[in-house]
Chain A
Amino acid sequence: MSITLDQVTKRYQGSPVVNDVSLDIGDGEFFVLLGPSGSGKSTLLRAIAGLAGVDHGRIALHGRDVTHVSAKERGVGLVFQNYALFRHMTVADNIEFALRVRRMKAAERRQRRQELLRLVSLEGMDERLPAQLSGGQQQRVAVARALAHKPEVLLLDEPFGALDAKIREELRRTIRQVQRELGITTVLVTHDQEEAFALADRIGVMNLGRLLEIGQPQELYARPATRFVATFLGAANLILARQTRDGIRFGKTAVNASAAGPLQGAREHEVVAVVRPEEVEIAPTREDLVSGYLTRGAVEEIVFTGALERMRIRIQDDQEAAPLSNGNGSGSAFLEVTRTQHEQRAFQIATGQHVAIGVRRIHILPTPLSSFTTCATTDALAEALVQQPLLAELASRMKTRISTRVEPKLGMPGADCEGAPEFSGTTVIAAHSDVVYQAQWLLKMGAEEILVLPQNASPPQRVLIHWADEAVRRATLAVAASILRHVSAEAIYIGILPQQTPVAQRPHGMRALLDARSEAQAVHGLEMRTELRFGDVSNELARQLGDMAGQMLILGIRGHADLAERFGSLFAESRWPVLIVHRQHESPAGQAGQLYQAGQA
């Protein structure tokens, strides 16, 4: 491995800008770190270069631990967005800078310089000053300069940011060519997904300081695991659907899925479907569709972009399907569609026209958190809970919807629920002293995830994770990973053994802890810290939560009968948000995203 990052964390004024990032980059690999501005990608690159220290974790280059080695000694080449050329030196002097520092002989320096100038096709420019070169040429000089001392690793920080489109493409090609020719391990930071696709062997997508997903470009585009990656890599329509035994159902419409995957869990449940704009089919009538019918809509807007036609279609019957978002976070009842010239010629469309909509390909996100439903005894209370800041923030970051549900007999022993028999997504209730009985009641009625919210809770700084039964480990981790992708918080798994655990049993507890950590990392892409405690579970958790403000608990349980008995004290004070993850049975292993080819029924 050329670059190994192990749980690298960097904090700025207390909050993590790089949050527990672990990553292996192979020899000669071209790795692209992709993320919006402020996602921590540049900070991570600077940490690899040695220009920013890390608060936690280790960095190794070619097996050598360089965590505490200065940038000067690391032997990396770094290229900056604004070139950072020494303006008072000629091109030749800029390129020879690293060689001069190393006291190389003049003749050798000149020879190396000629080599490098040829590599970046700038022969004969030796005596120019940076100010006499164009932006693209300056960046070529910067690349040559960064390669002069034969670094083991080349790091590029938004190298094309300051260039216009044409030059950008040309320089992109040069850099890819140079990288192939030298076989040098390269990490490039960018916010431009097209650039990432064009250059990368593998892409790592970052958001809020976390490395969300790593994979080959095609793989990430076709099968993203998270909402963020789905919408950040290209456009995507996120649609709430139900997974049933027969396949995927949007509202009343069942999309005939030819390759239905195994049903997650024992019962049907709500899922988040990704439909790429180019996978949407438009036809005059339902009968004309080649692919599976989804719904009907009216064309709201058409934009001609050259090769493609881009349009927004307003979904007509809200009952039939409920799109979450078009990927830009705006509008909720819209579908984003792109069509090729070929498709345009086959069926010409004008604004305002009514069309039938079909989907060729659906990808189901493996996230267990689909949508939120606030639940209270009256409509007003349920509505008020929708405004709760943490909930509103979570829903907006997850680009999902919050619906309401009124249960007049909420928490009453023996009473039945009055709403629909099925519970969609996460049920949210307001915290108060007796909330644990309401939670227990909801679990009995079939809710699987319950979020208990104190009135003033805000996005947490720290998320504690605990499960009371190993059978719900996977489900709890999946929920935790999903939450932590959308908040900038540290994740800590708390394992608790009874006080009187015999010493011989303790290593077993440690093993369980490490297993949990590696599963979180391998299956859910979640990096978390682990802590082992001894004592009463409820007391220990309460003590940890009381330690500092801004904490949240994710609690996995199996069976709801003894919730109040075992964990009642955690809810009594209603000082922190608690997300209860309840599963009656162990979840099956195959939880990766599923792809459906939809065919005509």
Chain B
Amino acid sequence: MAAIRQPSVLPGFGLTFGFTTFFLSAVVLLPLAALVLMAASMTWHDFVHVVFSARAMGSYRLSFGASFLAASINLVFGFIIAWTLVRYEFPGRKLIDALIDMPFALPTAVSGIALTTVFAENGWIGQYLQPLGIKVAYTWIGVTVALTLIGLPFAVRSVQPALLEVQRDLEDAAETLGAGRLYVFRRIILPTVLPALLTGFTLAFARAVGEYGSVIFIAGNLPMKTEITPLLIVIRLEEFDYKGAAALGFVMLVISFVVLLMINLLQAWGRRRIVAGAR
């Protein structure tokens, strides 16, 4: 016990650790275990049938593909927005800063409906995209747009504090040493905020994979084409196929876990490489 004795001035390690374990178990681990148990009660044949059906495979592709794309878009634009908010002082900055969090607070169904209204063929934006041959609502593009919207706050909020850390002094120092803007960005700014960028990406991705409410309004939900995995799970539930739903849920759990783990490993490796590298 000596090793974990009193790590802070606040007493009660035993008590707090107990609560941590209890809540994690009650809220996260037990439901997940129930899910796995439910899926495990299926026969192997049934499981494979449900999980590798063409419809299920289509939904994985859309869910994870669109989530990845949306998170990537958020990575780039989230960085730009965070940069603007951190580096510049302009009228309305506070307002924009507050707006970033809107997707957090909005019921996802509301954002789904709003997006559909705007991007439908006769919507504000949709009517101009229509002649160009671009259909947003009821296609995979619409799904990506919805997932981008709900993931944006994660990207911006992760990068913002990291950008605050990149002091102007560092850029000034690099500039007096003869570095151009691109060089400063590549060698100084990017390495410093990269971990935060990856965190933002991870959070946006995780949020997008689990998103349901906003997508079902704009997706159109055509099996094999615009049907996301969470929706498929709900459909299975409505058919009282609890085991099928659990099996699909299990697959999502595994894929999400693997992706998140990979990003985390990448992050750790990146930190080491940046530290050792730049040579």
Interface residues of A (CB under 8 A from B): 46, 49-51, 70-78, 80, 82, 84, 86-89, 93, 97-98, 101-102, 129, 142, 145-146, 148-149
| Shortest distance between the CB of B193 and any CB in chain A (Å) | 11
Q: In this assembly, does B174 line the interface, its C-beta being within 8 Å of a C-beta of chain A?
A: yes
| Shortest distance between the CB of A595 and any CB in chain B (Å) | 43
Can you list the 3 inter-chain pairs with the closest CB atoms, starting with the nearest?
A98-B177, A84-B169, A84-B173
Measured in the bound complex, the distance between the Cα atoms of B274 and A98 in whole Å is 18
**Contact of B192 with A88 in the complex, beta carbons under 8 Å:** yes
Contacts of A145 in B (CB 8 A): 173, 177
Measured in the bound complex, the distance between the Cα atoms of B183 and A78 in whole Å is 18
**Contact of A148 with B278 in the complex, beta carbons under 8 Å:** no
- B interface residues, how many (CB within 8 angstroms): 21
Interface residues of B (CB under 8 A from A): 167, 169-170, 172-180, 183, 187-188, 191-192, 274-275, 278-279
Give which listed residue, A49, A82, A88, A102, contacts B176 with CB less than 8 A.
A49
Measured in the bound complex, the distance between the Cα atoms of B170 and A215 in whole Å is 33
| Shortest distance between the CB of A87 and any CB in chain B (Å) | 7
| Shortest distance between the CB of B236 and any CB in chain A (Å) | 48
Measured in the bound complex, the distance between the Cα atoms of B174 and A89 in whole Å is 13
Quick one: closest B residue to A82, CB to CB?
Answer: B169
**Contact of B191 with A88 in the complex, beta carbons under 8 Å:** yes
Contacts of A98 in B (CB 8 A): 177-179
| Shortest distance between the CB of B188 and any CB in chain A (Å) | 6
**Contact of A80 with B169 in the complex, beta carbons under 8 Å:** yes
Contacts of A71 in B (CB 8 A): 172, 175-176
A71-B176, A72-B176, A88-B191 given; 15 more Cβ-contact pairs under 8 Å? A49-B176, A50-B175, A51-B172, A51-B176, A80-B173, A86-B170, A86-B174, A88-B192, A88-B274, A98-B178, A101-B177, A101-B179, A129-B275, A145-B173, A149-B178
Contacts of B172 in A (CB 8 A): 46, 49, 51, 71, 78, 80, 84
**Contact of B169 with A97 in the complex, beta carbons under 8 Å:** no
**Contact of A84 with B167 in the complex, beta carbons under 8 Å:** yes
**Contact of B175 with A51 in the complex, beta carbons under 8 Å:** yes
Measured in the bound complex, the distance between the Cα atoms of B178 and A50 in whole Å is 12
Measured in the bound complex, the distance between the Cα atoms of B243 and A574 in whole Å is 93
| Shortest distance between the CB of A78 and any CB in chain B (Å) | 4
Quick one: closest B residue to A92, CB to CB?
Answer: B279
**Contact of A89 with B167 in the complex, beta carbons under 8 Å:** no
Measured in the bound complex, the distance between the Cα atoms of B169 and A50 in whole Å is 13
| Shortest distance between the CB of B12 and any CB in chain A (Å) | 32
**Contact of A50 with B176 in the complex, beta carbons under 8 Å:** yes
Measured in the bound complex, the distance between the Cα atoms of B187 and A82 in whole Å is 20
Give which listed residue, A74, A82, A129, contacts B167 with CB less than 8 A.
A82
**Contact of A78 with B278 in the complex, beta carbons under 8 Å:** no
Measured in the bound complex, the distance between the Cα atoms of B176 and A145 in whole Å is 11
Quick one: closest A residue to B271, CB to CB?
Answer: A88
**Contact of A72 with B180 in the complex, beta carbons under 8 Å:** yes
| Shortest distance between the CB of B9 and any CB in chain A (Å) | 25
**Contact of B179 with A97 in the complex, beta carbons under 8 Å:** yes
| Shortest distance between the CB of B257 and any CB in chain A (Å) | 29
**Contact of B279 with A93 in the complex, beta carbons under 8 Å:** yes
**Contact of B179 with A78 in the complex, beta carbons under 8 Å:** no
Measured in the bound complex, the distance between the Cα atoms of B180 and A228 in whole Å is 42
**Contact of A84 with B170 in the complex, beta carbons under 8 Å:** yes
**Contact of A77 with B167 in the complex, beta carbons under 8 Å:** no
Contacts of B183 in A (CB 8 A): 101
Contacts of A46 in B (CB 8 A): 172
| Shortest distance between the CB of A588 and any CB in chain B (Å) | 49
Contacts of B275 in A (CB 8 A): 88, 129
Contacts of B178 in A (CB 8 A): 72-73, 75, 98, 101-102, 149
Measured in the bound complex, the distance between the Cα atoms of B175 and A75 in whole Å is 10
Measured in the bound complex, the distance between the Cα atoms of B174 and A98 in whole Å is 8
Measured in the bound complex, the distance between the Cα atoms of B278 and A71 in whole Å is 23
Measured in the bound complex, the distance between the Cα atoms of B8 and A99 in whole Å is 46
Contacts of A97 in B (CB 8 A): 174, 177, 179, 187
**Contact of B278 with A77 in the complex, beta carbons under 8 Å:** no
| Shortest distance between the CB of B84 and any CB in chain A (Å) | 21
Contacts of A49 in B (CB 8 A): 172, 176
**Contact of B176 with A76 in the complex, beta carbons under 8 Å:** yes
**Contact of A93 with B173 in the complex, beta carbons under 8 Å:** no
A-B contact pairs, 10 of them (CB 8 A): A51-B175, A70-B175, A72-B176, A72-B179, A72-B180, A80-B173, A82-B169, A86-B173, A88-B275, A101-B180
Contacts of A149 in B (CB 8 A): 177-178
Of the candidates A75, A87, A89, A149, the one having the most CB atoms from chain B within 10 angstroms of its own CB is A89
Contacts of A87 in B (CB 8 A): 192
Measured in the bound complex, the distance between the Cα atoms of B187 and A89 in whole Å is 10
Measured in the bound complex, the distance between the Cα atoms of B274 and A93 in whole Å is 12
Contacts of A77 in B (CB 8 A): 176-177
Measured in the bound complex, the distance between the Cα atoms of B275 and A80 in whole Å is 22
Measured in the bound complex, the distance between the Cα atoms of B169 and A415 in whole Å is 67
Measured in the bound complex, the distance between the Cα atoms of B174 and A212 in whole Å is 32
Contacts of B279 in A (CB 8 A): 93
Measured in the bound complex, the distance between the Cα atoms of B177 and A146 in whole Å is 7
Contacts of B177 in A (CB 8 A): 77, 97-98, 101, 145-146, 148-149
